[in-house]
Structure 1
């Protein structure tokens, strides 16, 4: 499964971009069909609405093949050189960051032959004023966009120095006539998508979608004669498809990828996993907690976080491709270490070493004084399992058996209740499912009744998380990533938006909202004001634990150079490498067909 939505930020108040194309030309050599698998476990449906989170294009991460963003941001490079003009050739802030003036590329056509104009861009952003359509997280707009020639000015209620990713990077531009319909019905079914992207729908079946080149593409003829996106049920099936040559580009965790794929033919088989987000455990904090007990308490969530053996998740759940998170701030480290509190309190406060837990004993390893599971829970009024013994001098908690629902003597209790919840994740996502199983083992040994709940696929899982708060209790979920902390923090802590993790989890914190507002209104060059705002958000994550950081997530990227060269890799990291939105069109236009 590909699990990435990233961010780019340019700190300058204005950025003028050269009106160059993506590099394609009408005489480019076209190659064989390229088979890409952005996400496993998606149930196909003939719906390509980029603003319906459950459409096949949203679930698969292929929206940008047809509906492109205004700017292609490379989250691996937050400088100006990582900002690539796409449907916009320039932008600048006005009115203290509240107005964003965007210059629209001229000479662009939709795949039906009609011309892209400023009115299409304005209509797309007007549709985002409907909260149910605003899946990119476009900030609240003070008024409708205004048009002057080929310039669109977006008007926001607050400064948007931190909002460029959602505004310019992941808002997929629609034809005005379609945007007007989406504004009224955000989840409308779109069976024949119209957009400016390099590809258009060729054919659809429940097992395979074929995309053919857009004959009107502004960037020239794509190098690929066709893009095929098959329905692949599991990560293991994706591995088999790669080995058999039935898949060229995969965006998921391939078990033992080097032994099972890369080393079979190192000349053409490759893998590059760039880190850039924080994988966390979501807690359902809606009324009733989805039927869980205990997780509504901050102390319990903190104890759960401190009780997880992250090293086991990294080595066994992720095959060593992802690293254990070691700060409860949930900042992506070491990338964002400059934002940590200067006192070092959150630098390494989570244990990131150890081995697979023994079912009978669990040790508080390298935890700050007073921050092991025993101290956290007893300090909050919980009674240790009757069958357990805690050696304070050794920091060792020994249980008489697992808390698995069979014997309350093995469980923490308070007011007649035990700590009880399930971890809900898709079985086809073998890495997350393995991590969920490991966490169940670890936490049962610490006196918590933790089980796993299977979702049969991504679509089932995502629909439940986003629309059925009674259907889940906790879930392992990737972070939104980004070169700046705001993107992940806004998703985790902003309960005012209808499309954030905080909203789905039922989390609300006025202090977090205030700190987010302060961050968003601060020019990033003013670090003396910026760092304290970020550190306040880091402290809220650490103290309130609305999500528990687990791992530093990888941008999954396994590919073959047998048909095409020019892929982003460790020596040429020109773009986030995963086969997913919004970077797919940028990468596809850089590739060159093999003779």
Structure 2
């Protein structure tokens, strides 16, 4: 009854929030109403380099090209039209699109690209791709980036994952890594409209270089969680959400006019603040504890109870099983994480590391019980079910875990600053399925920081010289040198399996429910022109540009 009441209250708020733009999900006036899973009010942050940004990459701020993570195809030109490497991979030349203007009417030039690249070089916390080049503007429409060593793997990241900002505005921002950019100016297909804590809008940019989008407005809603999202979907009050709903196998039957698509993409993990040298505190800083948790999981039960059997197996080396199975190292102890638990193996790992089980069944070491908290966002029902289930599973192996719910804003802040022990989240891939990118994002010393400082996105604070060395080697290798690249993948995967700074859970089946009766042009499993997830950026912008009211 409490859930039902909360759901009805959310619908009442939702109806009020929608009334300005649409009375039936948004189709009549060209407004698409979306729900990203935001639990609690939005806090305005449109800085594309901030880990707590709520929107902007792709929609307001554009990259030079778009790389499709789920389909093998050439990069799609955006602000850039062509690019090429020199023979030894130390120089990247980029041709820019002519006639592009910022949304305030100022001219976009190569100086904006150089300024953006120089800015993230100076501010480590903004440099989530590990960029180390030197950029220069050859003229208004040409940029040259040079590197000290061959840097082929930097190409897709620079071209597809760095969002260009206007020099004429950002040069006056004193602390660009901390500024929330409440009045963003970009080159993208949308501009920021009205902003309130419960909802904000993006409006089609009439001066967009590729023409004003047919989808005139996108309205983002904040609700109380997954249940409220499912209720809103049933009431026809939202048009697109990515997340679980009851009986996901029968969306078309249960939600007339809607369809669903599921794609294996992000890898669900228990993040651990793993590095004591960088300020992490708690039993999870011990690799033995992390490995014990890994073996104590019943992934079959988790998939059934929390994920409606939409998830699939995961490798402890974090190679995508669905797309890159051939890259899984033969040197791993296990190619895939076990679907069944082994409490005895978990206990053996702990006892060999000096833990002893107390009369209450919980292990302890040096007088400290093996008790941990795991952070989860309030309203994320699938993750909440997962951590509640995990708590019961781990208890059987002598590990006490207490779920700790909080708002997304608090959860995101704790993740970025390292103020957590365990936290459930997912690791996302890079601009292509190559595992190099997930390794360089989440396991590189260059993308982390001490506890209390913003890490982006190596939130675990993991630092391993062997992994860093292998990543440097991979950067210099030609992408076609498969044999040499595999040697480096083998090194990295073996280290990750042993250390487990992110404890593998499963590969998530990312499911989106969308209003096919009101809008057409959606990606489907047969036409994955972009990742079909409302929170996947910049994919969401490609989808917005493709949509138009049905009929």
TM-score category (smaller protein): 0.7 to 0.9
Q: Is the 8 A contact 1:34 1:226 kept in 2?
A: yes
Q: Secondary structure of the residue that 1:351 maps to in structure 2? A: coil
Matches within 5 A, 1:64-83: 64-80=58-74, 83=75
Q: How far apart in 2 are the matches of 1:475 and 1:120?
A: 37
Q: Is the 8 A contact 2:282 2:421 kept in 1?
A: no
Query: What is the rounded CA distance, in whole Å, between the counterparts of 1:39 and 1:64 in structure 2?
Result: 19
Deviations 1:555-584 (A, max 9, x none): 342111122111001121221111231112
1:346 aligns with 2:334: yes
After superposition, the CA RMSD in angstroms is 2.5
Query: Is 1:186 equivalent to 2:177 in the alignment?
Result: yes
For the structure 1 residues 287 and 540, does the alpha-carbon distance in structure 2 shift closer, same or farther, using more than 3 Å as the test? closer
> How many angstroms does 1:341 deviate by?
2.2
**Aligned-partner Cα distance in 2 for 1:571–1:45:** 36
- For the pair 1:542 / 2:503, whether they are aligned, the reply is no
Once the 2 structures are TM-superposed, how far is the Cα of residue 446 of structure 1 from its aligned partner? 0.9
Q: 2:405 aligns with which of 454, 459, 483?
A: 454
Distance 1:312 1:74 in 2: 32
Counterpart residue number, 1:504: 459
Question: 77, 81, 86: which one pairs with 2:78?
Answer: 86
2:49 maps to: 51
The answer to whether residue 288 in structure 2 is matched with residue 299 in structure 1 is yes
Cross-structure match for 2:481: 526
Contact persistence 2:195–2:201 (CA under 8 A): yes
Task: Give the superposition deviation at 1:225.
Answer: 2.2
TM-score by structure 1 length?
A: 0.81
2:111 corresponds in structure 1 to 119
- What is residue 264 of structure 1 aligned with on the other side? 254
What is residue 321 of structure 2 aligned with on the other side?
333
Aligned to 1:220: 211
Shift in Å, 1:416: 2.7
Cα shift readout 1:90-119 (whole Å, capped 9, x = no counterpart): 111236323322111112122222221111
1:445 aligns to 2:434 (yes or no) = no
- Residue 262 to residue 177, structure 1, CA distance change in 2 (3 Å): same
C-alpha separation in 2, matches of 1:546 and 1:46: 31
**SS in structure 2 of the partner of residue 334 of structure 1:** helix
Is residue 279–residue 478 contact of structure 1 (8 Å, CA) maintained in 2? yes
Aligned to 2:24: none
CA contact (8 A) 2:34 2:239 kept: yes
| Aligned counterpart, 1:588 | 544
**How many angstroms does 1:409 deviate by?**
3.9
Partners in 1 of 2:521 and 2:316 — Cα distance? 38
Q: 1:381–1:164: structure 2 CA closer, same or farther, 3 Å change rule? A: same
Relative distance call for 1:425 and 1:181 in structure 2 (3 A) is farther
536-545 vs 99-108, which moves further: 99-108
In the alignment, the residues of structure 1 paired with residue 58 and residue 33 of structure 2 have an alpha-carbon distance, to the nearest angstrom, of 16
TM-score if structure 2 supplies the norm length? 0.87
1:435 positional shift: 1.0
Q: How far apart, in 2, do the equivalents of 1:291 and 1:171 lie?
A: 29
Partner residue, 2:34: 36
> 1: CA distance between counterparts of 2:45 and 2:172?
15
Name stretches of at least 5 consecutive residues in structure 2 with no aligned partner.
1-26, 449-453
SS at match of 2:172: helix
Distance 1:546 1:292, change over 3 A: same
User: Can you list the C-alpha shifts for 1:512-544, whole angstroms capped at 9, x where unaligned?
Assistant: 111111112111101110011011111111111
Q: Does 1:102 align with 2:102?
A: no
Q: Post-superposition shift, 1:250?
A: 0.8
Counting helix residues as a fraction of each chain, which structure ranks higher?
2
What is the rounded CA distance, in whole Å, between the counterparts of 2:391 and 2:121 in structure 1?
A: 41
Distance (whole Å) between structure 1 residues aligned to residue 235 and residue 114 of structure 2: 46
Instruction: Give, in angstroms, the shift of residue 501 of structure 1.
Output: 6.2
The alpha-carbon distance between structure 1 residues 582 and 558, as it changes in their structure 2 partners (threshold 3 A), is same
Q: Which residue of 2 aligns with 1:392?
A: none
Matches within 5 A, 1:186-585: 186-259=177-250, 261-265=251-255, 268-287=257-276, 293-325=282-314, 327-342=315-330, 345-348=333-336, 350-353=337-340, 372-383=345-356, 385=357, 408-455=359-406, 457-467=407-417, 469=418, 471-482=419-430, 483-498=433-448, 503-580=458-535, 581-585=537-541
